[in-house]
Structure 1
Amino acid sequence: MDIKIERKNINTDILIIGGGIAGLTAAIALKETSPEMDVQIVEKQTSGYSGKANKGGGVLQYFDLEKIKPEDFTAYHVQAIGCYLGDQDLMKKYVSMNNEMLDKLVEWGAVLPKREDGSYAVIPTGPMTAMIGVDLNITVRLRRTAEKMGVQFLDKVTVSDLLTSENRIAGALGYSILDGTVYAFHAKSVVLATGSQNYRIGPMWSSGRGDGIAAAYRAGAEMRNPEFGNFAQLVKVRSHNEVVFGENHMYNQLGEHVTKNFRSGPEPDISSSAIAEWFQQMSEANGPIVLKLDNDGGGLHKVWDRPYGQDFWSLNRKSAENVDVDNEVCPMLIGEQSPVKVGHDMQTTIPGLYAIGDVSYCGSAAPGAVPAPPGRNRGSGILNAVFAGILCAEGASENAMNITVPALDEEQVDNCIAKTFAPLARESGSDPKEIIRLIQQAVGPMERSVYMSDHRIETALKYVMKAKELCETLKANDFHELLSCHEAAAMVLSAEMQFRAADMRKESRGWFMREDYPDMDNENWLKWIIVKKQGDSMEFSTEDVPYEKWSVQPSKVQ
């Protein structure tokens, strides 16, 4: 392909990469904090229609703060869900801001159902938690609010690389997926809001492709908790429709209620023990596993009035009615790897670079030993994005006001452009679809990604290493295929981090489950796994969890 590169330079105070719920929240919060700041959102699809908030079940986590103390829920979460790997201060702050965040969303244009007395229409989901529905136009409404506040938008432009200078962030490099125009962004603060790594297996979550994770890694940012990128959900075998809370109703072909084998009472959401039970039942030829439900599985959609999403949900359920006659289920990998390491202000280990929402949830350490979202807390995904977007606003704004941004390193820019467009210059090479399929073969089977063992991790890594080798010769025929090349490379990077970290953690804790190390090991593994690029190598280390400074502490040996 004959490549003629046109370059455009854009200067802004604050650059936000990603126009989903996290990016839009950050933009609005930044404008509220500093109205005079120039705020630019760049999105590879269309802001307001991208991300996962407008494609999922549309629920928000709710805490009745008149009855529930943030420290009480934090204690429950640390012990029962995060299993002592979570940042208790950050979790407590998230809970304490819950009602404030809901009110903010309404102020910004989101429609949340309420009862006649003006209270939010919530339904209970687990110990101390409930959830409230939100219509799927939430991101469209937030975009309209951001536009009115003066936020600038650039759609159909994907960011391939973050740019650094003088050991801090200086901007980013991207290109139009329509015509290949290169955009060099020069910014004082950069906010990464690009979503998690979901490996393109579940269609509802396929927008999370890990490209922001890969860009942050290549720029030198540290990663934390990459092994918790293995969330799975029960789905109908034939329609692939997700069945929320279906794990409560699992039966094998003998008619046995197998839920009782791994759960003694109500739990807030699916756990990895449900996946392990499915695997064991199938291994013992007791499958298929079916659900015996009290309703048609569409009950949640009938609780709230959400007209924007109702046609979609009705069409989806109708299309599944004729194929899901036997209610057979299997687990499907969702992924939800979110490892970019951040502090309480959402700043990464690169000064001036912030990461929010699904790109950094596990990297913040707030959820502990669970992939997130939903991190066994339904509705925490959207609200964590709102939470992180609000938290980053003050720091990103102050940083932009108080620093003189270094000039872009033009040699770095030229090198990034050359690497970015290399697949278009090759006459032949590897198809990104082939690489994506290899990674899906590595992460997709539950026995490799969720119910793990040393041998099965080794098998998964063989697929990853083969895909990594093919990445050196990626070939694209147009700009859309070029985007697929970059997303394929990001999937390889995420999978390598995930399995190498999983191999290191020789225990079972929270969602993380190893058949060969079935016990939680507080003596050796009250640690976070840290990953950082060193030259051409992926370096792994550990960081002790500072549990001594928090109120809820584990027994040193369990």
Structure 2
Amino acid sequence: MNNTDKLGTVIKSDVLVLGAGGAGMCAALKAKESNVDVLLIDKCGIGWNGQVPIGGGILAYVYPEYAKKWAENVTRQSNFFNNQDWTFAFGNYMHKSTMDLAAMGLTFLKNKGDINILNWGPNIYVTLFDAPKSLVALKKTAKARGVKMMDKIYAIDLLKNDGRVVGAVGLGLVDGKTYLFNAKAVIIATGNCGYMHEKTYSSVLGEGPAMGYRAGAQLVNAEFGSSYVWGIKTLGKELMGIHFYLYLENARGEKIMGKHYPELMVGKHSVYTFDPRVIDAMQKEVKAGLGPIYLNLMGLSDAEVAGLAEDRVEGLTQLMANDTMKLLREKAGINPSKERMEMWARYLYGGGGLRIDINGKTTLDGLYAAGSASSNSWSGGGGGQGGLGVQSAAVTGFVAGENAAKYAGENSRLDINVEQAKGMIDRVLNPMKHKGDVDAAEVAYRVHEAVVPMKYNRQREASRMKEALGIVQDARNKLSRVQPRDFHDLARYHSADSMVIAAEFTYSAALMREESRAGHFREDFPQRDDKNWFKWITIEQRDGAPLLATLPVPVENYRWKP
């Protein structure tokens, strides 16, 4: 007899999607096309959550006839370190993904009734969409098509039976209930880890990869993906714009980009807030004693300042947080044309995702992943341009949704294992028995001290990374003194635990990779080492501890060879 009802509220579906951001919403919509029962849950308010609504509203695009060449270019830019199967599939899916999003309700920039594709550089194409209203539009379509939704539900761990993922444990943040979700297939689409450091991405805290790891799924490439952006210090957020880099100067008033990257001063370039060249130039100037770095727009007219940002289009909502100059004037009382503004480099997010195959499946049966909670290695350090993050969320979401629905249609439901569920719930609720005087926020701040400083996480070196790991261990020790008093506190505890896991995995993999490649730079190993390190690093749980191993890049099976 199954007594799961005594453990909590049991809810069944064919496909369970964890996380209702861009990737999760796309996964749910695509799964529903197969006429299966789809349930979408999120810890926040569905429609206003995730990273897409507060992004720049840019969607990368590749013309179908150019897709093969695009994939080859990414492959060569990555020095063949990418997963070419995924790169090829991604390039070929972009046109269909864009059309699907339009059909699902997204508002795009149009020209004579057709989606307007903009050329932002040599073979770089994008379109613009209404980012702030994007998930509200997709939510409306999803509800109309029969996707069921529950928000303010905090999913923490996956349920398994006979080696297969069969659901998840969740906490009701409003009703205080414990939920047991039972599904034929589960999709994790909860994002990577922003460590609660970037204001606008504060809900992305690494829970998905962490729960996948605890269930036995592999993670991959945790040492890559740590991203810094540059922005105005007063605002505490990134600077949205593609030409502001031309006006960055050091404390002496000297323009900095021409000193370090003279090629950017010739011709027209789109340099985004995540461009590592700007971060590199800023860091070099500060290390040389020439900081702080300023943005100097003095003397420019309002029209000239506006021309430095992304294209702005009537009819597309512009979230104030993305219009940095408007935000400066209206919220900070600063006229950007009349005073220099101090800049800073800000840590955005990082951490490796769940390893997925070409169908979005993880290394566990019944479990799929999408968006930045997954890692398909399509880039490998190549293909940098605006809008790829959103497009990747959409494509991986569509792929995972389609294949999870297919899996659900081909496999019968397995019941929840009562003993495993009881043990899982005990683990989830056990922190409420703690005695201590530490707030979960203190743990998060301690993790910040390990992952945010560039001396640890950008200019990496063995002794400094070990020092950072010591800080992370101290954060873990503090967790045992966090005493949650309600489910909100308990969710914050588990989020802090996920942040600790993400930081541990990033530094452990970064220490293991003794070379420099893509976004991973080692001062003590400054060169790329294809002889010893032309392989990906995987992480999975063995005997209660993380096991790091290597997986050779299977370039012999790919289209393009070095």
Do both proteins adopt the same fold according to a TM-score greater than 0.5, normalized to the shorter chain? yes
Report matched runs for 1:305-324 at 5 Å: 305-310=314-319, 313=322, 316-317=327-328, 318-320=330-332, 322=334
- 1:290 corresponds to 2:290: no
Please report how far the alpha carbon of residue 271 of structure 1 lies from its aligned counterpart in structure 2 after TM superposition.
Answer: 4.1
Alpha-carbon distance, 1:338 to partner: 4.2
Stretch of structure 1 that moved more, 487-496 or 437-446:
437-446
One-letter code of the match for 2:118? I
Q: Which residue number in structure 2 is paired with residue 526 of structure 1? A: 534
1:461-512 Cα offsets, whole Å, 9 max, x none, are 1111111222233311222111110100000000000011111111111222
In the aligned structure 2, how far is the partner of 1:199 from the partner of 1:14?
Answer: 29
SS in 1 for 2:217: coil
Given the alignment of the two structures, is residue 108 of structure 1 paired with residue 104 of structure 2, yes or no? yes
In 1, the alpha carbon distance for the partners of 2:417 and 2:145 equals 32
| Deviation, structure 1 residue 297 | 5.8
- Residue 204 of structure 1: aligned partner: 200
Please list the CA deviations of residues 413-462 of structure 1 after superposition, one character each: whole Å capped at 9, or x if unmatched.
Answer: 11111121122223435321111011101011112111212222122111
Aligned counterparts of 1:122 and 1:299: Cα–Cα separation in 2 = 19
Q: 2:258 aligns with which of 254, 257, 260?
A: 260
Asked if 1:382 is matched to 2:390, the reply is: yes
CA offsets per residue over residues 392-423 of structure 1, 9 Å max, x none? 23321221112223221111111111121122
Deviations 1:96-120 (A, max 9, x none): 222211111111111001123x343
Which letter does structure 2 place at the counterpart of 1:339?
G
Is 1:326 the counterpart of 2:315 in the alignment? no
> Does the alignment pair 1:181 with 2:180?
no
Deviating more after overlay: 510-519 vs 432-441: 510-519
The answer to whether the Cα contact below 8 Å between 1:239 and 1:323 also exists between their aligned partners in 2 is: no
- In structure 2, what residue type is equivalent to 1:331? A
Separation in 2 of the partners of 1:268 and 1:300? Answer: 10
Helix, strand or coil at the partner of 2:70: helix
Please give the alpha-carbon distance, in whole angstroms, between the structure 1 residues aligned to 2:122 and 2:532.
30
The CA distance in 1 between the partners of 2:315 and 2:501, in whole Å, is: 38
Q: What's the CA shift for 1:241?
A: 3.4
Flag structure 2 segments of 5+ consecutive residues without an equivalent.
Answer: 1-5
Runs of 5+ unmatched residues, structure 1: none
Structure 2 contact 62–70 (Cα < 8 Å) conserved: no
User: Bigger CA drift: 388-397 or 296-305?
Assistant: 296-305
Q: Which residue pairs with 1:26 in the alignment?
A: 27
Structure 1 residue 175 displacement after superposition = 1.0
In structure 2, relative to structure 1, the CA distance for the partners of 1:199 and 1:20 (3 Å cut) is same
C-alpha contact 1:423 1:473 (8 A) present in aligned 2: no
The corresponding residue for 1:346 is 360
Match of 1:98 in 2: 94
Judging changes above 3 Å, is the alpha-carbon distance between structure 1 residues 529 and 388 closer, same or farther for their aligned structure 2 residues?
A: same
Partner of 2:39: 40
Query: 1:423 is matched with which residue?
Result: 431
Instruction: Give the drift of 1:91.
Output: 1.3
* Per-residue deviation, 1:547: 1.6
Contact 1:530 1:541 in 2 (8 A): yes
Of the three residues 369, 373, 395, the one matched with 1:359 is 373
Which residue, out of 112, 130, 145, partners 2:125? 130
Question: Structure 2 vs 1, CA of residues 157 and 338 (structure 1 numbering), >3 Å: closer, same or farther?
Answer: same
Compared CA separation, residues 310 and 199, structure 1 to 2 (3 A): closer
Do residues 368 (structure 1) and 389 (structure 2) align?
Answer: no
Does residue 74 of the first structure (1) align with residue 74 of the second (2)? no
Q: Which moved more, 1:498-507 or 1:294-303?
A: 294-303
Matched length = 538
What does residue 313 of structure 2 align with? 304
Where has structure 1 moved over 6 Å in runs of 4 or more? none
In 1, distance between residues paired with 2:64 and 2:204? Answer: 32
Q: Alignment RMSD, CA only?
A: 2.2
Write the letter of the residue equivalent to 2:128: G
1:271 and 1:55, CA in 2 relative to 1: closer, same or farther beyond 3 A?
closer
Describe the shift of the 1:520–1:260 C-alpha distance in structure 2 as closer, same or farther (beyond 3 A): farther
Are positions 1:547 and 2:555 aligned together?
Answer: yes
Once the two structures are superposed, what CA deviation does each residue of 1:12-57 show, in whole Å capped at 9, x if it has no partner?
111111111111111111111x12x111111111211111111111
Residues 248 and 96 of structure 1, relative CA distance in 2, 3 Å threshold: farther
Does structure 2 retain, via aligned residues, the 8 Å contact 1:234–1:247? Answer: no
CA distance in 1, matches of 2:541, 2:64: 42
Classify 1:177/1:49 alpha carbon distance in 2 versus 1 (closer, same or farther; 3 Å): same
Q: Counterpart in 2 of 1:479? A: 487
Structure 2 letter corresponding to 1:275: I
Residue 167 (structure 1) aligned with residue 163 (structure 2): yes
Residue of structure 1 aligned with 2:150, choices 128, 144, 154: 154
- Is the 1:276–1:451 contact (alpha carbons within 8 Å) kept by the matching residues of 2? no
Alpha carbons of structure 1 residues 301 and 274: separation in structure 2 relative to 1, 3 Å:
closer
2: CA distance between counterparts of 1:271 and 1:30?
35
State the identity as a percent: 28
